[in-house]
Amino acid sequence: MNMEKGTISPSPERLPPLASLRCFEAAARHLNFGAAAIELCVTRSAVSHQIRQLEQHLRTALFWRRGRSVHLTPAGKLLLPIVRDSFEQIRQGLRLIRQTSGHGDLTLRVYITVAVRWLMPRLHRFTAADFSLRLLSSVMAWDFDDDQADLGMIYLRGPQNPRLHYRFLFRSLIFPVCSPALQQGGLGLRQPADLTNVKLLRVYTDEDNWRAWLDAAQLPQLAERPGPQVDTYLLAYEAAAEGQGVAITSGPFAAQDLVSGR
C-alpha cells in the first residue's frame, strides 16, 4: 500500500511452482512425458501431475494429447522459450556467484552406494588438489541440477540432458553376489537355478536390476518371490557379505571384495 497517496499497489502475479515449470520445459523439449520423467528422475505420472498444475495455474492447455503423442499448443510454444531462457539465466547467475565467491570448493553429488563402494577408496587423490571437495550423498534418485552441485555421478538409463556435460566412467554390468560361506555351504550355489534355494536381497526403490538379470537367466518367476527389502544397494550388498542372502551389484562396487575373497 502507498500510504502517502492512499492507494493500493497491485500485488505481483503469483508464480507457478518451479517443479511444474521444470517438468514443462523437459516435456516440451522432448515432446514426450516418459523421456522427461527419465531425465528428471521422477515418474511419468509425476510429470503429468506437475503439468496439469501448471495448466490450471495458467488456465490454458499447454499440450495437445493424442493417444501417446503430445504436441505444444500455441500457449505452450509461447511459454517454452521463456522458461528455457529463464532457467539458463538462473544457471549462469548461480555459476557466476560460485566462481566469484572465492571459497574454492567443488561440490560432488553421488549415490551413497557409489560413494562408499567406489569413490571413497579413490578420495585420497583429491588431497593434493588446490580446492576442497564437498561431497553430497543421496539414498534416493535425485534430479541432478548444477545449481546444487558442480559435478554429479549418475546412472544414465535414458537420453542425455542437453544442458549438462557428460563423461563416461564405467558400464554397470550387474551380477549376483553372496558371501563365500553361503556359496560353499550346503545350498550349492553353482548355477542360476540354485537361486531358488536362497533369499534374494532386494532394493525396493529400484527392482529393475534384479528383474533384468533374472529375465536374462530365464528365471523371471523369482522376481515375484517375497524376500527381504532394503532402501539402498549398499545395505543389500553388506547383508549379502554377512551371509543373509544374495544381492545384485556391479563390478566396480564388488571388485575389491572379489579379489580379497570376502
Domain CATH number, residue 52: 1.10.10.10
**Are 243 and 178 members of one domain?**
yes
C-alpha–C-alpha distance, residues 222 and 214, integer Å? 7
Please enumerate in sequence order all residues whose Cβ is within 8 A of that of 97, keeping only pairs 6 or more positions apart, or say none: none
DSSP codes, 149-186:
-SEE-----SPPPTTS---------EEEE--HHHHHST
Structural domains in the chain (count): 3
3 within some domain:
no
243 within some domain:
yes
Q: What is the pLDDT of residue 24?
A: 95
10 within some domain:
no
Amino acid, res. 73: T
CA-nearest of 166, 173, 240, 251 to 212 is: 173
Residue 63, Cβ density class (10 Å: 0-12 exposed, 13-18 middle, ≥19 buried):
buried
User: Mind listing the pLDDT tens digit of every residue in the chain (262 residues)?
Assistant: 443 444 444 445 788 999 999 999 999 999 999 889 888 888 888 899 999 999 999 999 999 988 778 899 999 999 999 999 999 888 878 776 766 665 567 778 888 888 888 888 777 776 656 667 777 777 666 566 555 677 888 777 777 777 778 888 888 788 898 888 887 776 677 888 888 888 899 887 777 888 889 999 898 888 888 778 888 888 888 898 888 889 988 877 877 777 777 7
Q: Are strands 229-230 and 151-152 parallel, antiparallel or unpaired?
A: unpaired
CA-nearest of 174, 220, 231 to 195 is: 220
Q: What is the pLDDT of residue 147?
A: 53
Q: Are strands 202-203 and 151-152 parallel, antiparallel or unpaired?
A: unpaired
Choose the final residue of a domain: 169, 196, 223.
169
Cross-strand partners of 106: 133
Q: What is the pLDDT of residue 127?
A: 62
Q: What is the pLDDT of residue 1?
A: 40
**Are 239 and 194 members of one domain?**
yes
Q: How is residue 151 written as a grid cell?
A: 559435478
Choose the final residue of a domain: 151, 169, 187.
169
What is the reported pTM?
0.54
Domain that holds residue 125: 103-169
Choose the final residue of a domain: 144, 169, 194.
169
Q: What is the pLDDT of residue 82?
A: 94
4 within some domain:
no
CATH of the domain at 209: 3.40.190.10
91 within some domain:
yes
12 within some domain:
no
Q: How is residue 256 written as a grid cell?
A: 575389491
Please enumerate in sequence order all residues whose Cβ is within 8 A of that of 223, keeping only pairs 6 or more positions apart, or say none: 207, 210, 211, 214, 215
**Are 179 and 165 members of one domain?**
no
Q: How is residue 28 written as a grid cell?
A: 516440451
